[in-house]
Structure 1
Amino acid sequence: MGDSKLYTRVKASDILTELRNYEKKPKSSVYRKTILKKIIVNLSLGDNEVVMLFNEVIKLLQDIGPTDPEAKQLCYLYLTTYWRHKPKETLNALSFITEDYHESSTDEDACLALRTLAAIQLPQFLEELVPMLEDALQKGSPSVRKTAAYCVASIFKAEDPDSTSSLMSLLNDLLLDPQLEVVSAALSALGDITEKSETLKFSIDSEHALKISQSLAVCGEWSEVAILNALMSFVPQDHQTAAHIIDIVLPYLQSENSSIVLNALKVIVYLCQYVSSVLDVLPILPQSISRAVANLMLKPPEIQFLAMRNVILLLLDKPALLDLDIRMFFCQYDDLLYIKDTKLEIIFLLADEDNIEIVLAELQEYALEIDVQMVRKSIRAIGNLAVKIDGTSEKCVSVLADLLSNSIPHVVEEIAIIARDILRKYPGRFDHIIQLLVDRIDLVTEQDSRASMIWILGEYGSSISNSVALLSHYAEHFLDEPSETQLSLLTAIVKAHVCQPYNKELHQLVEDTIRLVIENVDNPDVRGRGYFYWRILSAQLPNTIDIIKPRLPMLNTGADALPPEVRQELDLCIGTLASIYLRPVTQVFRHVKPKVFADSPARVDQDLKTARPRTSKSSLSRASPVPSVLSASQQLGSLSLDTATTRSRSSSLGLNGIVKKLSRK
């Protein structure tokens, strides 16, 4: 039977019948493997009924010999998935798994046994696993040592570090391993362990940071990612070392692997905080990062989205590190909606007075598309550009006026919403757009748009000839409106009255509306506002107009979208989910320590928000690094014990003279 025919849901009872037949007939490895594949397919389809086959799978595991590793792998996958449901039955497989490790003829079998034992975190399994890991970390082949390093990280428990304390020293020793893949696995494991613990801290000194960064040239892709992540634990003590490592990492921005590109970008952005006048020292930095972004924009949509979210982060915090062509983010006809939405955000952030012509032409084209969501977002972007950049307001409002001339309902509704902000930002400059909206008020039916139009009628009622008639029309259906619209309409009617106190028709409209609110509206917010206006108007205060229609504060367009501390933390999380949500890492991941820039004599608070990329070339001087310490510090209990041992070992990385310091308090 071909594998493609196996990918259908099968009842667990039918699989059990096949297992019974397997026990009665001469045992065939092909038949056994077919049954196991059916079980795994049901498992992948979410059919948890196959948990009833637990004992039968363990029996199959007993029959599997060393010549059928694929069937053994399927059994182990089943066990690691359902061991929590059958913990007692899982113990029956312990002897077979440990035997696989001790009697394995290949490294693949030994690695599979270690991974399975580490995944099934029962106390009995961990007791057997710890001595096996000690043996694997010291005597195993490179692939076994690499697997063992990852297993140490997976079984580490922050609340009980004593259970794996014997393995931590061996894991540190792997940093001296002559095989780069083993070193990268140890770095990755140590990084994962320190993330789980509040008391462990992993740091790299300048000498070894330079060594491992130079080893990137001879690493595989997985090792490159691990080493780049490990460089985030390096705290530069001088500007030259940080600039030198940036220079080494810079070529990896052009890698075909998107993970390598994003991790290299994360390292560069991090180290920029430790280089004085980084754009003078590395003038090619903005162009290199921009070329990397351009390459990522040729990847599948998921990678494009991740790259663009990180571009938004850099544009909010460090725009000087980017030298992007805005045309790169113009929407294509086949772009997915979330890609178009993200591109619009970047276009808005990149727009300025120099490129406003092509930006408005592009946004106007989007505003005439069939997709209503895209139309609304495009119009909102045009209006926000008018509010954001004073010099572009005339052109933006002109484009909005052209769009209004088409009298398309959803276009008119969206322009009505954004016109409120434009009129507030530029009082008296664009009043002509009010009449264009009033002429098309019959097309406005959406709730937010109606509320905006009602606000305009109340705020500028004295300059609109038929404002009283329009407000009266809305007031006829007052009780049918939602509470938000009722509040807007009540306020607009009272505003119009205090601005035109001698208008008898408007005076009668105010009385009827307030009486209707007080007597027939159940919403306490609307009733409360009605009573408030009734008492204010009854008191006939001399400054009534200042109370009901005060001077509105100017819109503040210069406020940062993210607080500075959040932006700094996100700089350390480039390429992660936190950079997609633009939220602090503790809000995205549970049990993760907040990330902060470490203090250092080389730390500089340079402003990359207002700086501009330099085109002049400057030489980069490279000083020899000062030997330091690669340490893992741990605090346990209340005792204080400081020990330091110095070891020397030859390796292809040249990681000699490592000093490991373990402090316990």
Structure 2
Amino acid sequence: MSDSKYFQTTKKGEIHELKEELLSQREDKKKEAVKKVIAAMTVGKDVSMLFTHVLNCMQTHNLELKKLVYLYVMNYAKNHPDRAILAVNTFQKDATDPNPLIRALAVRTMGCIRVDNITEHLCEPLRHALKDQDPYVRKTAAVCVAKLYDVNPELVENQGFLNILNDMLGDSNPMVVANAVAALTEIDEVSKTEVFRIHSGNLNKLLAALNECTEWGQVFILNSLCKYTPRDSQEAENVCERVAPRLQHANSAVVLSAVKVLMKYLNSIPNGDSVRTFCKKMAPPLVTLLSKEPEIQFLGLRNINLIVQRRPEILQYEMKVFFCKYNDPIYVKMEKLEIMIMLANEKNIDEVLLEFKEYATEIDVEFVRKAVRAIGRCAIKIDRASERCIQVLLDLIQTKVNYVVQEAIIVIKDIFRKYPNKYEGIIATLCANLESLDEPEAKASMIWIIGEYAERIDNAHELLNSFLEGFKDENSQVQLQLLTAIVKLFLKRPKDAQQMVQTVLNLSTQESDNPDLRDRGFVYWRLLSTDFEAAKAVVLSEKPLITDTTSQLDESLLNELIMNISTLASVYHKPPETFVAKLKGIKRGMRKEEEDEEEPDYVDDDNNGPSPNQGYAGQQQQNNQQYGQQQQQQRSGNLIDLDLSDLGSALPQQSNNPYASPQQQQYNNSNDLGFLGGGGNNNVRSPVQKSVIFGGDKSQSIQIAGAFSRANNRVSLELTLSNNSQQQMARFKIQFYQNSFGISPIDPILNCPPIEPGQTIEVSIPIQCANAAFTQPFNPVIDMAMMVLPSQEKFYFKMNFPFNCLFTENGRLERDSYLAMWRSIPETNERQKEIQIRLNQFDPASLLAKLNQKNLFEIVRKSNNGQEISFLSCKTENSIYILVELTFSQNSRVCKAISKSTAPEVMPIFEHTLDNLINNA
């Protein structure tokens, strides 16, 4: 009989009857009564008054009845913690039951009861369950550790459950391994310290379990493999060989997770043939994703978008699978268009243009616009195909469809900027369609074309004059472009535009409320009235060629998103911390308001003003010389020859230290605490020494002083803003341009009150750098821009970013771990540098104390033949460990630094930073 009958009881006196049935001696009646209680609980009735009676039914060997009672207890334990404690004895008894199903059920239920006084009694049963002989119990207990960690992290760490979980990675049962990986991954995401680290010792165990566990176990293991960086190309190739069969799995999540692993490990394989082989294997499963339901297609396309940006060769021969079908949803069509543009090349451009032209005749206006714009982007991307793209656009213009014509003119304007003085023959066709223009962007594009080629358009002054008649009613984008175009016409043909230029300058400077338009008008007026030739040199200067970067993500962001394939981050194309409230134990505030205006993909001289200086070639050359590779010299083997007994010695006491100072004892004490898990002293914010980075002579409307700092486990930009103008400054937006560290503000809108004239305020801007990706060549300078809203006045400045701000508070390694890591890093990653001590008063003990405060932690120190040798470690925000050995000689002004890292590309900037830290201590 169906269980639906239990949901149909609404009679009076039901609770009393249930009590009687729960007290029955017959087990079948008890089971029926508990089922009725669960049914009532499910539909929202309060049956908590039966807690004690239901609890009495736990004393049974009937597995079904026990499950029902456990379900009831889980639901009401949080509301009645004092009663839930009554069930502890039964839980503990069931945890030792001969039946493994009951043992697992008891541990699982205790883990789901989020009550402190229950969790205290969970530790011993959980410890036994983690080492149970039955794999079903062990895999259940592994997940229970993660649940317990969410309730009481300190309890889990103190009881050693994390170490047991790491040991379970080598379990003989693949499901136990998969659940251990899942639990460690979940804990690692919210822990402030790294608790899950894959090394060569457990790598093969995970790969062995991969072939035998369930599909979701495979997903957990594959995702965890992305945390490991292979030691050499051979190891990377071996992992790829063992992961590649997962590409044939029926589950899309397994396929995408396997692709993610291959995308990472292929970066470590220099052999081109092997890379091509694996790329060829990835194509069919990705194509298969596009044959599923639209929702799966969309998710697959968003991930393919990232994959194609990194390795377009994977799908270079699969263009046809991205052709849009008539019944595809619009969101699928849009994604397919983007990928088609990325894969377009000289060989397939003809069939791609044929498709785009067909799409431009569709009914959906938004899709048509996207298709027309795609044709223009292909013209900018592929030089040899530009003429064919122009012809297709002209054919579309002949259709006389309003929105098609306007979109075509917009993209043709960009094509003119890419190929100046090449396609002017089509200008007459464009001018013949002026009456079709009613959108601001299309009008602005057409006006730009007329102004740029005014000397070749006989009636250019008449065309611009027709726009000038309604100048006050036009959008600001059209007004700015019209002002510039008329000035260009005047500089090229003064007689035809003399009256027009006077009119437009008067309208811009005297009758407009737009500060951008007014300022540009004054600039042009001053130029024209001062030096006509200088005005021509400025306004008619050669424009930089543009490139299409619409679909290209920043390199550091792309690297991060590749490592998040098959997650929401790869669908949103945003880092996880931008939409996940808690990451690595740190609460991250979300943006208070969204900015209406996005930054342009490229700088337009006529529309957007000057761009900040992006080039520091001279400084970079100097940095490269300073960071230059040093030839490896023969080492004395200070660390390599140490055994565990050497490392086991504590730091030398003050009496044995020839460099003893008043700060020595204090530093030794702080280091002793560090061995117990203490971090640096960066949780206390000290005053930040700022320097003026904009408006130093106070001639600007604002003066900005700033400095980067690290405190409270995060990096921030500390600014002092001084309003030197006569107007209130209301809101501020800050932007970081692409930089070598991959850092950016968490919220570009500054959280500060309005600044009155003459007022100065302090602002702290949190910086997101947990996913820093170090690009080469290294440039420590970060270009920034600040915009004052709503006036949109911009200020450009730059600052040096101190690399040590990325050193985390959990960078201290245990002594054994330090030695193991040093030995595991290849000798090719080792660097040596002699650092000249430029301090007047030099004391190694106080210097090391200062390094400790900067999160460069001393692990151990030893004396050897009149030398003090200190071993230190640090860890960057993206989990790169750097190990360093510092040698101080008596009466010497030179410190010898020998360093190793899992990522050798960061060593030049680290050595430069170490020099600064030592000589500024």
Please list, as runs of the form range in 1=range in 2, the aligned pairs for 1:100-179 lying within 5 A after superposition. Answer: 100=91, 102-103=93-94, 110-111=103-104, 113-139=106-132, 141-156=134-149, 160-161=153-154, 163-166=156-159, 167-179=161-173
Post-superposition offset of 1:268: 1.6
Post-superposition offset of 1:555: 1.1
Distance 1:559 1:333, change over 3 A: closer
Of 329-338 and 196-205, the range deviating more from structure 2: 196-205
How many residue pairs match? The answer is: 582
Q: Which has the higher contact order (CA 8 A, sep 6+)?
A: 1
Aligned to 1:237: 231
Report if the CA contact (8 A) 1:114-1:148 is conserved.
yes
Query: 207, 214, 236: which is aligned to 1:213?
Result: 207
Report if the CA contact (8 A) 1:37-1:74 is conserved.
no
Gaps of 5+ in 2: 22-30, 586-674, 680-811, 818-858, 861-872, 874-921
Post-superposition offset of 1:327: 0.3
Distance 1:441 1:36, change over 3 A: farther
Aligned to 1:546: 537
Report if the CA contact (8 A) 1:196-1:591 is conserved.
yes
Of 62-71 and 521-530, the range deviating more from structure 2: 62-71
In structure 2, what is the Cα distance between the partners aligned to 1:401 and 1:276? Answer: 46
Aligned to 1:656: none
Aligned to 2:258: 264
Q: Which digits, 9 at most, give the CA deviation of each residue in 1:579-615, with x for residues without a partner?
A: 2333444445454469xxxxxxxxxxxxxxxxxxxxx
Please list, as runs of the form range in 1=range in 2, the aligned pairs for 1:180-191 lying within 5 A after superposition. Answer: 180-191=174-185
Structure showing the higher strand proportion among its residues: 2
Question: Is 1:357 matched with 2:350?
Answer: yes
**Secondary structure of 2:196's aligned partner:** strand
**Secondary structure of 2:288's aligned partner:** helix
Post-superposition offset of 1:252: 1.1
Report if the CA contact (8 A) 2:103-2:137 is conserved.
yes
In structure 2, what is the Cα distance between the partners aligned to 1:60 and 1:297? Answer: 55
Aligned to 1:379: 372
Letter in 2 for 1:239: S
Aligned to 1:637: 678
Give % identity. 34
Report if the CA contact (8 A) 1:229-1:263 is conserved.
yes
Query: 498, 507, 529: which is aligned to 1:507?
Result: 498
In structure 2, what is the Cα distance between the partners aligned to 1:280 and 1:152? Answer: 44
Letter in 2 for 1:468: H
Distance 1:493 1:283, change over 3 A: closer
In structure 1, what is the Cα distance between the partners aligned to 2:4 and 2:502? Answer: 76
Q: Which digits, 9 at most, give the CA deviation of each residue in 1:318-342, with x for residues without a partner?
A: 2344454100111112212221111
Report if the CA contact (8 A) 2:70-2:109 is conserved.
no
Distance 1:384 1:559, change over 3 A: closer
In structure 1, what is the Cα distance between the partners aligned to 2:474 and 2:423? Answer: 29
**Secondary structure of 2:131's aligned partner:** helix
Q: Which digits, 9 at most, give the CA deviation of each residue in 1:264-297, with x for residues without a partner?
A: 11222222233231x3236531221001111222
Post-superposition offset of 1:158: 11
Question: Is 1:23 matched with 2:15?
Answer: yes
Letter in 2 for 1:148: A
Please list, as runs of the form range in 1=range in 2, the aligned pairs for 1:289-438 lying within 5 A after superposition. Answer: 289-438=282-431
Aligned to 2:627: none
Please list, as runs of the form range in 1=range in 2, the aligned pairs for 1:3-82 lying within 5 A after superposition. Answer: 21-26=13-18, 33=35, 36-37=38-39, 40=42, 53=46, 55-56=48-49, 58=51, 62=55, 67-68=64-65, 71-72=68-69, 75=72, 78-79=75-76
Structure showing the higher helix proportion among its residues: 1
In structure 2, what is the Cα distance between the partners aligned to 1:593 and 1:378? Answer: 42
Aligned to 1:577: 568
In structure 2, what is the Cα distance between the partners aligned to 1:440 and 1:582? Answer: 38
Report if the CA contact (8 A) 2:91-2:107 is conserved.
no
Report if the CA contact (8 A) 1:239-1:276 is conserved.
yes
Distance 1:137 1:454, change over 3 A: same
Distance 1:127 1:493, change over 3 A: same
Q: Which digits, 9 at most, give the CA deviation of each residue in 1:42-101, with x for residues without a partner?
A: 7xxxxxxx8xx4845856854766644675465466458xx4xx5xx3443343376356
Letter in 1 for 2:470: H
Query: 248, 253, 257: which is aligned to 1:254?
Result: 248
Report if the CA contact (8 A) 1:195-1:593 is conserved.
yes
In structure 2, what is the Cα distance between the partners aligned to 1:364 and 1:640? Answer: 61
Post-superposition offset of 1:362: 0.7
Distance 1:295 1:412, change over 3 A: same
Aligned to 1:608: none
In structure 2, what is the Cα distance between the partners aligned to 1:78 and 1:266? Answer: 39
Report if the CA contact (8 A) 2:185-2:196 is conserved.
yes
In structure 2, what is the Cα distance between the partners aligned to 1:73 and 1:486? Answer: 72
**Secondary structure of 2:291's aligned partner:** coil
Letter in 1 for 2:677: L
Q: Which digits, 9 at most, give the CA deviation of each residue in 1:307-366, with x for residues without a partner?
A: 222222222222344454100111112212221111111100111010011101111111
**Secondary structure of 1:139's aligned partner:** coil
Distance 1:276 1:70, change over 3 A: same
In structure 1, what is the Cα distance between the partners aligned to 2:73 and 2:474? Answer: 62
Post-superposition offset of 1:179: 1.9
Of 312-321 and 384-393, the range deviating more from structure 2: 312-321
Aligned to 1:484: 477
Question: Is 1:518 matched with 2:509?
Answer: yes
In structure 2, what is the Cα distance between the partners aligned to 1:351 and 1:276? Answer: 26
Distance 1:236 1:508, change over 3 A: closer
**Secondary structure of 1:407's aligned partner:** coil
In structure 1, what is the Cα distance between the partners aligned to 2:441 and 2:88? Answer: 64
Aligned to 2:717: none
Post-superposition offset of 1:635: 6.9
Report if the CA contact (8 A) 1:40-1:74 is conserved.
no
In structure 2, what is the Cα distance between the partners aligned to 1:330 and 1:60? Answer: 65
Distance 1:353 1:112, change over 3 A: same
Letter in 2 for 1:243: E
**Which stretches of structure 1, 4 residues or longer, exceed 6 Å deviation after superposition?**
1-7, 28-32, 638-641
Q: Which digits, 9 at most, give the CA deviation of each residue in 1:161-197, with x for residues without a partner?
A: 4543322233234234332211221122223333333
In structure 1, what is the Cα distance between the partners aligned to 2:517 and 2:451? Answer: 17
Report if the CA contact (8 A) 1:200-1:635 is conserved.
no
Of 419-428 and 90-99, the range deviating more from structure 2: 90-99
In structure 1, what is the Cα distance between the partners aligned to 2:255 and 2:203? Answer: 19
Query: 218, 221, 244: which is aligned to 1:224?
Result: 218
Post-superposition offset of 1:110: 5.0
Post-superposition offset of 1:2: 8.4
- RMSD over aligned Cα, in angstroms? 3.6
Question: Is 1:497 matched with 2:454?
Answer: no
